[in-house]
């Protein structure tokens, strides 16, 4: 099993240093991604999910951003300390990325087929003709009708859904080992989203890449991912396999998130809510970062930060509730009252 690991992130910390202080956008993130597996990273705005993905390929704006600690291992090789020239050979080749808004990632004045072919010539050393042929093939593969014609068109001539397909074609042209998809369907309508998700699953079966799927949409996670890491305030607070996460969420934050979704199949009078707001990344509380909003919080929660502990073989959670200390603090509180 461990041989299948393609990407391993260890204690990754990305901080942003500005006159306002230090924003700990990513603050000690660990996970592994296996071949052919989809890992979802979910969380609300500002939780650090996008920054985690950008840090993997060292794409964070620097300054002010800086990876201050940790390792990102692609088949054992550390990307954090790698020279730039070497990293460039990995970006778009062995690890590629797609983003929410394809229009900002595509060159507006170059035909899309040309843009895909460029990556193939650069990374795979294909001839101009071979690269073009492969490019057209990829455009066909992502389900765009009449690929020869579309390859010659510029991005503005394509619809939003088609542009996102082109991005996927480009990302997968060099058969990467890892695909990082950062909110790839968030800007799309649901019927188009359904098409894109289907294509991603289909191509994963064919190519076998591992996917890191970043999204705020729990429904999409449930459909796409094998494993889910839930992030809150720069840290992973829970990591489980998908089915288990929705059946039995461990962390109070995950429970709150799932509870706050309107249900499509039942009527509810009122939605469950999570009180309060996310703490500022400049000033995280000393103890558990969720303690202030947590319905279960005890004194220990605001005193000491919990670790991401192994709950069972496949699940991890960062919460005092699942530790021995919790029982101790419980009895202590009973004694004092």
Partner 1 sequence: MNSLMIDKKPLLKVTELKQHFTLKREVVFQAKQVVKAVDGISFELFPGETLSIVGESGCGKSTTGRSILRLDEPTGGDVLFKDESLTKMSKKELRRVRGDIQVIFQDPYASLNPRRTIRQMLDEAMAIQKVLPPNEREARMLELMKHVGLRPEYLERYPHEFSGGQRQRIGIARALAVNPEIIICDEAVSALDVSIRAQILNLLKKLQKDLNLTFLFISHDLSVVRHISDRVMVMYLGKIVEIADKSSLFNNPLHPYTKALLSAIPVTDQTKREDRIILKGDVPSPLNPPVGCRFNTRCPFATDLCRKEEPKLRELESNHSVACHYAEELSS
CB of 231 to partner 1, least distance (A): 13
How many binding residues for partner 1 (CB under 8 A)?
A: 42
Residue 110 in the binding site for partner 1 (CB under 8 A): no
CB of 295 to partner 1, least distance (A): 13
Q: Which of 2, 45, 146, 331 binds partner 1 (CB under 8 A)?
A: 45
Residue 282 in the binding site for partner 1 (CB under 8 A): no
Nearer to partner 1, 56 or 220 (CB): 220
Q: Which of 223, 244, 292, 325 binds partner 1 (CB under 8 A)?
A: 223
Q: Which of 77, 78, 243, 327 binds partner 1 (CB under 8 A)?
A: 243
Residue 197 in the binding site for partner 1 (CB under 8 A): yes
Where in 262-281 is the site for partner 1 (CB under 8 A)? 262-265, 267-274, 277
Nearer to partner 1, 36 or 259 (CB): 259
Among the candidate windows 15-23, 49-57, 68-76, 257-265, which touches partner 1 by CB under 8 A?
257-265
Q: Which of 261, 309, 328, 330 binds partner 1 (CB under 8 A)?
A: 261
CB of 171 to partner 1, least distance (A): 21
Between CA 228 and CA 244 the distance in angstroms is 10
Q: Which of 137, 217, 292, 325 binds partner 1 (CB under 8 A)?
A: 217
Residues 176-195: x/- map of binding to partner 1 (CB under 8 A)?
Answer: -------------xxxxxxx
Beta strand pairing status for 316-317 and 235-241?
antiparallel
Residues of this chain that bind partner 1 (CB under 8 A): 44-45, 159, 161-162, 189-195, 197-198, 216-223, 243, 246, 256-258, 260-265, 267-274, 277
């Amino acid at each position: 099993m461990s041989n299948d690991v393609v990407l391993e992130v260890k204690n990754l910390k990305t901080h942003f240093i500005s006159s306002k202080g230090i924003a700990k956008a990513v603050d000690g993130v660990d996970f592994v991604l296996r071949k052919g597996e989809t890992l979802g990273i979910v969380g609300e705005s500002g939780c650090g999910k996008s920054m985690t993905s950008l840090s993997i390929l060292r794409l964070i704006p620097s300054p002010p951003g800086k990876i201050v600690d940790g390792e990102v291992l692609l088949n054992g090789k550390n990307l954090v300390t790698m020279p730039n020239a070497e990293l460039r050979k990995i970006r778009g080749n062995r690890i590629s990325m797609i983003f929410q808004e394809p229009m900002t990632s595509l060159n507006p004045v170059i035909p899309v087929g040309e843009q895909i072919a460029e990556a193939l010539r650069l990374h795979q050393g294909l001839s101009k003709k071979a690269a073009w042929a492969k490019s057209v093939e990829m455009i066909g593969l992502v389900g765009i009708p009449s690929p020869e014609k579309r390859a010659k068109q510029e991005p503005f001539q394509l619809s939003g859904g088609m542009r996102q397909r082109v991005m996927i074609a480009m990302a997968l042209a060099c058969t990467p080992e890892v695909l990082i998809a950062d909110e790839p369907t968030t800007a799309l309508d649901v019927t188009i989203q359904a098409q894109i998700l289907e294509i991603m699953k289909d191509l994963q079966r064919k190519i076998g890449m591992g996917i890191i799927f970043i999204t705020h949409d729990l429904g999409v996670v449930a459909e796409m991912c094998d494993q889910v890491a839930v992030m809150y305030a720069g840290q992973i607070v829970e990591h489980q396999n998908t089915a288990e996460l929705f059946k039995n969420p461990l962390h109070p934050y995950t429970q709150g998130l799932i509870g706050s979704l309107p249900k499509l199949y039942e009527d509810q009078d009122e939605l469950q809510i999570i009180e309060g707001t996310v703490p500022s990344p400049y000033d995280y509380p000393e103890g558990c970062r969720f303690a202030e909003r947590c319905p279960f919080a005890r004194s220990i929660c605001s005193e000491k930060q919990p670790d991401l502990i192994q709950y069972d073989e496949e699940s991890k959670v960062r919460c005092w509730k699942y530790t021995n200390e919790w029982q101790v603090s419980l009895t202590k509180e009973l004694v004092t009252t």
